[in-house]
Structure 1
Amino acid sequence: MEPGAAWPPWNFELPNWTMEPAARAPAPGLPGESESTEKYGSWIQTSFPNNSGGVQLVDHYAAVTHHGPIENGAQESLEVALHDMEIEIHDNPIHVFEELAHEFEADVDMIKVKIHRYPPNIRDLGDWCTVPRIVAFGPYHHGRQELKKAERVKHVAAYHCIRESRYSVREIYDAVVLVADNARNLYDKDVMAGISNDDFYHMMFFDACFLVQFMAWRVSEKEVDPSLRSYFHCNRRGINHDIHLLENQLPWQVVKVVLGFRPLPLEEFVAPWRGLLQDRRRILRGKTSLGLDDSYEPPHLLGLLRYYIVGRREVPKPPKDNFKSLSYSLSAIELAEMGITLTANETTELINMGLKRNGIFAELSLAPLSLDYARANRLVNMAAFELCTVPSFPDADFEDTAVCSYLRILSMLVHREEDVHELRTKGILQGGAGLTNKQALDFFTSLQSVSFGFSYVVTMLEIETYRFDRRMQTKLHAFLHKKKKTIFTVLTTIVAVVSILGTLVGILVRLNPIKAAP
């Protein structure tokens, strides 16, 4: 069969589609021939039922906004309305402030689900961890010149997604449009002001189809068309980078709609990402043992992956009174002076951090990390997600700020390249490839402005409690640690003197029989 003949998917009702202008004003429809082929390609036009009142309202404001010809009566009506508005604002300006306050409250209420922009302290780190390399998802980076090649691939991905779903274009597109209006409210209003509804619907449709096809390829390459498979394989590193960027996310409700038509085993997609911060991972035989938490509804793909990389931890929160007079920063040397050693735990989940007492000593245990630029990118974006979605770090749960806590502890421990080397000797930083000691030092020190996560505060409280409970032992251990070179020198000298004395005694013992002989 020719490629052109194979295009119409199953249930594709061609007689119901028309190329003629609709009798009524069309509601948002599929990408049509009149659209720019650079943005949307060549797609079949259609018409949908419309709301005449809504269209009249849009037409009226479009005429006013674009300064088109307006009838005299409409012009006078508009002037009267504006005059009445000015009088109302002058008489009771509080309405203006109330509207702004309500809009602000609505944004705060949606803080967990919005598609956020980077906070300044993360954006300042540079393009390497904030700007997509291959493909743009959503409006924030849409239209970048270096990402335009992927726009054509999105159409190919949409074609295969539709064919493999066995549903029609109209069915899938209509389902995306149903949730797209709500999804639009999740993006920055200033950015969305320059994007029409139709353009946004098309963007959500193509982007979601591309992402779902990439997810399907990650689960099983054989399930994806060979040409698309080859593209994903060649660009996998760049796409893996791009799907983790905070500003490059699609609302999960949109992705979920497409997954409903083109399903895939989501559990098998998520499982390999859990241990992606380490080089050494457990070999999973057969099906993965990951159990998805049905109670968690992610805001987007980054939120979903972060949820399982962080993990869950049941630990009671200590009373807030314990946070009086607490040191929020300790060096690796200070920890060593207290008898606290650094150790890597066996888990891959970042939430598992804290102090473990072992007799008269203690261990500060952290999840191991194989640090390269790809993993640094994921850590930065997961931390940015926490910074944007947690209104109050002191009141947050352990899991909500785990990445910030993890990064703050590591940044607290390193001040010199020697400190990074120490983390390597303790197994916290693993692998020979990746960032050098100098690069790792620069990375961690650049994150010292990240907010304190609750796990970080609790860990510092555990250290403070350990120091208080073992005041005498801690002072003795600090003295021994500070004077260890002197003590080692003295002990070495004593051993040397004893050795010399022993040698002399041995010589004398051997000489005595000679003197006693006649």
Structure 2
Amino acid sequence: IDPTVEGTIIPPIQERVTFERLEADFCKNERKIHRFPQGLRRWIGGEGDRYIVPTFVALGPYHHGEPHLQKTEELKYATAHYLCMKWGRSVEEVYGKVLAVAGEAHGCYDNDDDAVAQFSDDEFAEMMFLDGCFLLKYMVLDNDCSLLENRMVLSTGPCIQRDIVLLENQIPWLVLDALMSIISPIDVHMFLTAVISDPIYVARERRLLITDRDVIVKSSVPHLLGLARSHLIDGMPTDHLELGFSDDDDDDHDTRLSISAADPKQERMVRSPT
């Protein structure tokens, strides 16, 4: 190659390749499920790491196997068995859906983390299957199985609600999507509104309802916590949304925060409940 030509072609090619790699890494990083930042644990992790470590159920690998969470592991097997029967599907069929995305889901965690590295591929897929079924069962609580409902709600109080929105206690959304592909659509946003309504409430007259499952899937959220963040901030269809942070000790002194919608075009994706 002519040195002059080489000098004008190679650098742009290298620049483009570098940019594409950085862009690909950024996209992957968006779907990563991270550990709680070490530098913030002392300041906002709460007493005894209560805002970091789950107290009732481990979802994903970061806290899997911790002694105080072992009782719930038995409940996960019962939950998965119940859901397969309720959906009229074999365990092998439902597990197969998760197995198909398990490799991609594995890449959503930090593989250098000892808590992740300890799992073989088969063990990781089984964990995603059990954790995904458990989370979906909690999202669609019904009265068909009072034993499970009592164990998952009545005996745990607000613990499980806090656990499912902890940063280190998330499973990839693609696992939940794989499971939801064989059942009826779940109104995830209404579930999130109910779960978040204790510490953070959306002004009642402005509550949103996502009814189109494709809207949620196309949003490419990394996990349930990311979806909660997306719907509370990025998905606001109005020019103004009022959030309130309630104080259980003094309801007369609520702190309110006004946030502007990021993208008015997203208004078509939601509708107010009738």
CA gap of 1:278–1:178, structure 2 versus 1, over 3 A, is closer
- Find 1:193's aligned residue among 111, 114, 117: 117
Q: Distance in 2 between matches of 1:160 and 1:103?
A: 44
- The AA in structure 1 aligned to 2:50 is W
- Find 2:227's aligned residue among 298, 301, 304: 304
- The aligned residue for residue 238 of structure 1 is 159
CA gap of 1:278–1:242, structure 2 versus 1, over 3 A, is closer
Q: Distance in 2 between matches of 1:274 and 1:289?
A: 13
- The aligned residue for residue 213 of structure 1 is 137
- Find 1:228's aligned residue among 148, 153, 168: 148
Q: Is the 8 A contact 2:201 2:244 kept in 1?
A: no
1:88-237 equivalence runs, <5 A: 107-124=25-42, 125-126=44-45, 127-191=49-113, 192-217=116-141, 221-222=142-143, 224-233=144-153, 234-237=155-158
Q: Is the 8 A contact 2:203 2:244 kept in 1?
A: no
- Report the CA distance between 1:269 and its aligned residue: 2.2
- Report the CA distance between 1:148 and its aligned residue: 0.4
- The AA in structure 1 aligned to 2:180 is L
- State the aligned residue count: 227
- Report the CA distance between 1:225 and its aligned residue: 1.0
Residue 252 in structure 1 maps to residue 173 in structure 2: yes
Three-state SS of the structure 2 residue aligned to 1:138 is: coil
Q: What is the TM-score with the length of structure 1 in the denominator?
A: 0.39
- Report the CA distance between 1:248 and its aligned residue: 0.5
Q: Distance in 2 between matches of 1:154 and 1:275?
A: 26
1:4-403 equivalence runs, <5 A: 107-124=25-42, 125-126=44-45, 127-191=49-113, 192-217=116-141, 221-222=142-143, 224-233=144-153, 234-267=155-188, 268-273=190-195, 275-278=197-200, 282=204, 290-292=209-211, 294=215, 295-310=218-233, 311-312=235-236, 347-348=241-242, 367-371=243-247
Q: Is the 8 A contact 1:135 1:242 kept in 2?
A: yes
1:400-419 equivalence runs, <5 A: none
Q: Distance in 2 between matches of 1:235 and 1:270?
A: 18
Q: Is the 8 A contact 1:275 1:309 kept in 2?
A: no
- The AA in structure 2 aligned to 1:244 is V
The one-character-per-residue Cα deviations of 1:416-455 (angstroms, maximum 9, x if unpaired) are xxxxx9x965x426xxxxxxxxxxxxxxxxxxxxxxxx98
Q: Distance in 1 between matches of 2:210 and 2:202?
A: 21
Structure 2, unaligned stretches of length 5 or more? Answer: 1-19, 261-274
Q: Is the 8 A contact 1:273 1:309 kept in 2?
A: no
Three-state SS of the structure 2 residue aligned to 1:142 is: coil
CA gap of 1:370–1:271, structure 2 versus 1, over 3 A, is closer
- Report the CA distance between 1:282 and its aligned residue: 3.1
Q: Distance in 2 between matches of 1:238 and 1:104?
A: 39
Three-state SS of the structure 1 residue aligned to 2:72 is: helix
- Report the CA distance between 1:134 and its aligned residue: 0.4
- The AA in structure 2 aligned to 1:181 is G
Q: Distance in 2 between matches of 1:170 and 1:132?
A: 29
- Report the CA distance between 1:314 and its aligned residue: 7.7
Three-state SS of the structure 2 residue aligned to 1:256 is: helix
Q: Distance in 2 between matches of 1:176 and 1:238?
A: 27
CA gap of 1:106–1:279, structure 2 versus 1, over 3 A, is closer
Three-state SS of the structure 2 residue aligned to 1:121 is: helix
Q: Distance in 2 between matches of 1:103 and 1:131?
A: 34
- Report the CA distance between 1:277 and its aligned residue: 3.6
Q: Is the 8 A contact 1:216 1:264 kept in 2?
A: no
Three-state SS of the structure 2 residue aligned to 1:190 is: coil
The one-character-per-residue Cα deviations of 1:343-383 (angstroms, maximum 9, x if unpaired) are xx9x44xxxxxxxxxxxxxxxxxx3310469xxxxxxxxxx
- The AA in structure 2 aligned to 1:232 is M
Highest CA radius of gyration, 1 or 2? 1
- Report the CA distance between 1:170 and its aligned residue: 1.0
- The aligned residue for residue 272 of structure 2 is none
Q: Distance in 2 between matches of 1:122 and 1:262?
A: 39
- Report the CA distance between 1:116 and its aligned residue: 1.1
- Report the CA distance between 1:123 and its aligned residue: 2.1
- The AA in structure 1 aligned to 2:244 is P
Q: What is the TM-score with the length of structure 2 in the denominator?
A: 0.71
CA gap of 1:122–1:209, structure 2 versus 1, over 3 A, is same
Three-state SS of the structure 2 residue aligned to 1:368 is: strand
Q: Structure 1 vs Structure 2: percent identity of aligned residues?
A: 34
Query: How large is the Cα RMSD of the aligned pairs?
Result: 3.3
CA gap of 1:280–1:314, structure 2 versus 1, over 3 A, is closer
